[in-house]
Amino acid sequence: MARRSLPILKHLLQTSKTSSSSSSSSSSDLLHPFVLGNSKRSVTYMPRPGDGTPRAVTLIPGDGIGPLVTGAVEQVMEAMHAPIYFEKYEVHGDMTKVPPEVMNSITKNKVCLKGGLATPVGGGVSSLNVQLRKELDLYASLVNCFNLPGLPTRHENVDIVVIRENTEGEYAGLEHEVVPGVVESLKVITKFCSERIAKYAFEYAYLNNRKKVTAVHKANIMKLADGLFLESCREVATKYPGIKYNEIIVDNCCMQLVSKPEQFDVMVTPNLYGNLVANTAAGIAGGTGVMPGGNVGADHAIFEQGASAGNVGNEKLMEQKTANPVALLLSSAMMLRHLQFPSFADRLETAVMHVISEGKYRTKDLGGTSTTQEVVDAVIASLD
């Protein structure tokens, strides 16, 4: 809806309330179907014919706590009767590559929901997460780190969106041993990739009424590589005069995050910095167990927990079945919006927020003692 129509709607509502003060509440509800009791409803979403057709989504439970939290999503989607169905595939981080049938499914469906895939440290096995991003050209990673109502944290008013370039930089995987004992690792930054991630960050800010975009860099040392990234961000910023643009060196950024995180809005970063910044911001805002995220390109999208920080293979969480499903549930709400099912996304988000704010069912990372299933049951019970 255009912003200029909002004052008109407010005026009509106020006028109608005044004129109908002597009328019964039931007749008022009939006149204004978007005001029902104490609840508020936005102006009706008008779908296109056929928008309710169930959509196929590729599901990768993954490793560690992945099957536990993806199972939670499956239960909630079934309880909501959401118009999606899953094509489930077994993929694990110790595989040499993503199986062709999985790639074919994602290519066909365009959308995937994924649990964590463990990446072995060292050795010759490459990350399947990186493989997926490169093969599907999922060039933008988005993690939303924000305070949840009723969940106390050290800082208030945190609402940060970290947008990270996802296909190059240190994650290009260009490493080799020059001579025994000397390894060379190349950081690749291109004008093309820097420009498109900057465009995505500013477009996101514009579409979501965000006021500021901050570019994170280390151009004082890596003058050519990070200098090119900054040059691209500056060029794109000139096309969005209504959005404030600033820059911050990555080490100062980390210090500012832990001391005054509320100053940040949208952050755009090269690959490695974004991983560090997103996990730091997630820890500040409530923990990795509650932060949603996803990876998107021109044709495909993969939704997953926004920040993992090593909890994928936490054996204690798996044994006790106490992994926090909130992050993936909120990522699923992002997915539902991406699929143009906004009312289902709203219902899911509202139910999750209600459970968190009520405080009765929380996993250990949020100060509670609940199991994954107990949180899932509470979310299902809270569905409108």
Instruction: Tell whether 200 and 269 lie within a shared domain.
Output: yes
**Structural domain contains residue 25:** no
366-373: long-range contacts (C-beta < 8 A, 24 or more apart)? 366/151, 366/286, 366/287, 366/289, 366/290, 366/324, 370/322, 371/320, 371/321, 371/322, 372/68, 372/69, 372/72, 372/321, 372/322, 372/323, 372/324, 372/325, 373/72, 373/321
Residues 66, 128: one domain? yes
Quick check: is 23 in a domain?
A: no
378 and 261 in a single domain? The answer is no
Determine, yes or no, domain membership for 269.
yes
User: Is residue 31 in a domain?
Assistant: no
Residue 40 lies in a domain: no
Token pair, residue 173, equals 């995987």
Q: pLDDT under 50 in the chain at which residues?
A: 1-38
pTM of the model: 0.85
Segments forming the whole domain that contains residue 305: 50-141+289-383
Q: Are residues 85 and 175 in the same domain?
A: no
The reply to whether 302 and 254 lie within a common domain is no
d(CA 130, CA 275): 12
- In angstroms, the CA 90 to CA 265 distance is 37
Domain-embedded: residue 24: no
**Which of 285, 314, 337 is the C-terminal boundary of a domain?**
285
Q: How many domains does the chain have?
A: 2
The pLDDT assigned to 125 comes to: 59
Q: Is residue 374 situated within a structural domain?
A: yes
Q: In terms of domains, do 271 and 257 share one?
A: yes
The answer on 172 and 136 residing in a single domain is no
Same domain, 71 and 190: no
pLDDT at position 126: 75
pLDDT tens digit string along 79-101?
999 999 999 999 998 898 999 99
C-alpha span between 253 and 277 (Å, rounded)? 8
Same domain, yes or no, for 158 and 236? Answer: yes
CATH of the domain at 111: 3.40.718.10
Query: Which of 251, 285, 319 is the C-terminal boundary of a domain?
Result: 285
Q: Are residues 281 and 171 in the same domain?
A: yes
> 17 in a domain, yes or no?
no
Of 285, 304, 328, which one is at a domain's C-terminal end? 285
170 with 268, same domain? yes
